[in-house]
C-alpha cells in the first residue's frame, strides 16, 4: 500500500470515528435533556449569574419562554431584598432548600423554594438551581391554621387578632368565660379583660416574643364583663403570610382559676405559718440560704435574730389557747412593724421567731433593732376576754460573716446567744460574740 493510500485510510477512519463520537455525544445530551424536561421542578443553569440553560418547567413557572430566559440575569427572577441571600448561597455552595420571593414576567410575586449546586468550569462559576412555586401551598397552610384555631366547639377560649391586637374572631367559649358576646368583642383590644395588676414589663415581654415570630406562653389575670376576676393559661402564636410576615395572632386560652387558687392555697400552707401569716421554718430557711449566697457575692454583713417569747406558757395556761393565738398574732404584727421591707421575719416554732436583718453597716446595728423589738413586745396585749396582759422576749443575735458563714451556723449561734439571755434573767438581747463595733 502506498503512503498516500495509508494516509487516506487513516483520514477516513478518523472522520468515521468523529461521526460516531458526535452521534454518541448528541444521544447523551438528548438523554439528559429529556430527564430535565420530565421533572416537575424548574431547572436553571447559570454561568456567573447569567442563565445559560433551563428546562421548559422553569420557563412556565416564571412566565417566560425558554428563549427569553436564556441570557437573562438569574437575579431578575427574584425580588430585590433577596438578591444578597441568593449571592451568599451561590458563593458558599449552599445546597439545601430555602425560600425566597420570586418575580414572574408580569411582576407578579410568588414564593419559590430554591435548591442549587455550585461548581466551577474554568474561570466561570456555574450554578444548577431547581425552583418550585410553593405559593399555593403556603396559602393553604395559613388558611388551615386559621380554620383549625377557630374551632367553634372548642372548650378552650380562642381569640384571633390582627398584628395590632384588634380582635377579629372569638369563639363561643370566650363569650361564656368573659361575658362579652361575639359582637361586643369584635374590633376591641384584649386589654378590655385586663385586671390591671400585671406589669408593663409583662406585656412588653409578650409583644417582644410575638414580634420575633415566636410563640408566647403564660398566665393572664383577667376581668370579666361583670368585674369578677379569673386566671387564664394562654398560648399565643403568630400566623404568617407567604412572605414570612405575621398577619394575625391566634390565642388559645384555658380557664385555670380553680387550679390557680388551689395551688396558691397549697403554696401558702407549705411556706407560711397559717396562724400568723409569717414565713414558716421551711420558707425562712430558704430565705436565709438565699441571703447568705447574696452576702457572699456582694461581701456585705447581715444579722440574724432568734427570738423566744418569755411568759407565753403562762398566757396559754391561764387564759387558754385562743388567748395564746392572739398573742402570737400580735407578736408577728409588732415584729413586722419593727423591721424594714428589706428584712424578713419568720415563725419557726411554737413561740420562736426569727428575723433576718439585711445589709448591716455596723456589727452593733443589730442590737438597735433588737432593743426596738424588746420594747414593742413588752407593750400590753388585749386578750379575747378583754383583759390585758404582757409578755417579754429573749433575743439572741448572730452576725454574718463574723459569727458564722452559713445558715445553719447562724441559727445555732443565735440560738446559743438567746439561751444565754434566758439563763441571765430573760427579757433582753445578747450578741453571740460581744466585740468592738466594726
Catalytic positions are 351
Beta-bridge partner residues of 44 = 54, 129
| 194 membership: H or E segment, kind and range | none
User: What are phi and psi for residue 415, nearest 5 degrees?
Assistant: -65, -45
Helix axes 281-298, 407-423, angle to 10 degrees: 110
Contact assessment for residue 218 and residue 203, using Cβ atoms and an 8 Å cutoff: no
Do residues 125 and 90 touch, judged by C-beta distance below 8 A? yes
DSSP assignment letter at 363: T
Q: Which of 25, 31, 51 shows the shortest CA–CA distance to 126?
A: 51
Q: For 12-51, give the DSSP string.
A: HHHHHHHHHHHHHHHHHHHHHHHHHHHSSSEEEEEETTEE
Q: What is the DSSP string of 108-158?
A: -EEEEEEEEEEEEETTEEEEEEEEEE-HHHHHHHHHHHHHHHT-TT-SSEE
Provide DSSP, 44-84: EEEETTEEEEE-HHHHHHHT--HHHHTTSBGGGGB-GGGHH
Q: How far, in Å, CA of 175 to CA of 180, rounded? A: 5
End-to-end, the C-alpha distance of the chain in Å comes to 124
C-alpha cell at 142: 395559613
Q: Using CA atoms, how far apart are residues 378 and 311, in angstroms rounded to an integer?
A: 11
CA distances from 25 to 54, 388, 405 (A): 19, 116, 87
Residue carrying the nine cell digits 445559560: 52
Amino acid at each position: 500500500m502506498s503512503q498516500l493510500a495509508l494516509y487516506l485510510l487513516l483520514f477516513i477512519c478518523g472522520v468515521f470515528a468523529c461521526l460516531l463520537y458526535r452521534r454518541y455525544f448528541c444521544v447523551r445530551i438528548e438523554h439528559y435533556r429529556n430527564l430535565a424536561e420530565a421533572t416537575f421542578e424548574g431547572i436553571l443553569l447559570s454561568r456567573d449569574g447569567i442563565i445559560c440553560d433551563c428546562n421548559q418547567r422553569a420557563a412556565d413557572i416564571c412566565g417566560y419562554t425558554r428563549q427569553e430566559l436564556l441570557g437573562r440575569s438569574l437575579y431578575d427572577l427574584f425580588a430585590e431584598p433577596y438578591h444578597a441571600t441568593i449571592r451568599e448561597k451561590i458563593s458558599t455552595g449552599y445546597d439545601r432548600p430555602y425560600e425566597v420571593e420570586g418575580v414572574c414576567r408580569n411582576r407578579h410575586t410568588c414564593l419559590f423554594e430554591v435548591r442549587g449546586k455550585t461548581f466551577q468550569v474554568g474561570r466561570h462559576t456555574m450554578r444548577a438551581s431547581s425552583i418550585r412555586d410553593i405559593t399555593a401551598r403556603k396559602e393553604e397552610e395559613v388558611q388551615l391554621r386559621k380554620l383549625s384555631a377557630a374551632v367553634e366547639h372548642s372548650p378552650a377560649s380562642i381569640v384571633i387578632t390582627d398584628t395590632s391586637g384588634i380582635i377579629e374572631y372569638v369563639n363561643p367559649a370566650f363569650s361564656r368565660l368573659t361575658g362579652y358576646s361575639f359582637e361586643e368583642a369584635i374590633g376591641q383590644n384584649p386589654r378590655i379583660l385586663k385586671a390591671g395588676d400585671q406589669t408593663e414589663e409583662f406585656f412588653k415581654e409578650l409583644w417582644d416574643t410575638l414580634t420575633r415570630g415566636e410563640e408566647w406562653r403564660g398566665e393572664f389575670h383577667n376581668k370579666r364583663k361583670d368585674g369578677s376576676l379569673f386566671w387564664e393559661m394562654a398560648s399565643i402564636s403568630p400566623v404568617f403570610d407567604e412572605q414570612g410576615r405575621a398577619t394575625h395572632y391566634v390565642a388559645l386560652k384555658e380557664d385555670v382559676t380553680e387550679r390557680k387558687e388551689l395551688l396558691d392555697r397549697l403554696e401558702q400552707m407549705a411556706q407560711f405559718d397559717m396562724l400568723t401569716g409569717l414565713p414558716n421554718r421551711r420558707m425562712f430557711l430558704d430565705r436565709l440560704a438565699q441571703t447568705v449566697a447574696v452576702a457572699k457575692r456582694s461581701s456585705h454583713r447581715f444579722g440574724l435574730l432568734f427570738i423566744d417569747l418569755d411568759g407565753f406558757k403562762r398566757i396559754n395556761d391561764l387564759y387558754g389557747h385562743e388567748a395564746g393565738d392572739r398573742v402570737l398574732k400580735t407578736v408577728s404584727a409588732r415584729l413586722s412593724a419593727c423591721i424594714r421591707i428589706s428584712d424578713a421575719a419568720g415563725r419557726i416554732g411554737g413561740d420562736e421567731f426569727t428575723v433576718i436583718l439585711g445589709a448591716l453597716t455596723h456589727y452593733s446595728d443589730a442590737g438597735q433593732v433588737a432593743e426596738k423589738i424588746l420594747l414593742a413586745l413588752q407593750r400590753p396585749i388585749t386578750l379575747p376576754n378583754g383583759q390585758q396582759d404582757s409578755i417579754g422576749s429573749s433575743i439572741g443575735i448572730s452576725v454574718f460573716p463574723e459569727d458564722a458563714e452559713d445558715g445553719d451556723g447562724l441559727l445555732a449561734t443565735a440560738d446559743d446567744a438567746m439561751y444565754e439571755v434566758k439563763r441571765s434573767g430573760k427579757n433582753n438581747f445578747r450578741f453571740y460574740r460581744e466585740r468592738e463595733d466594726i
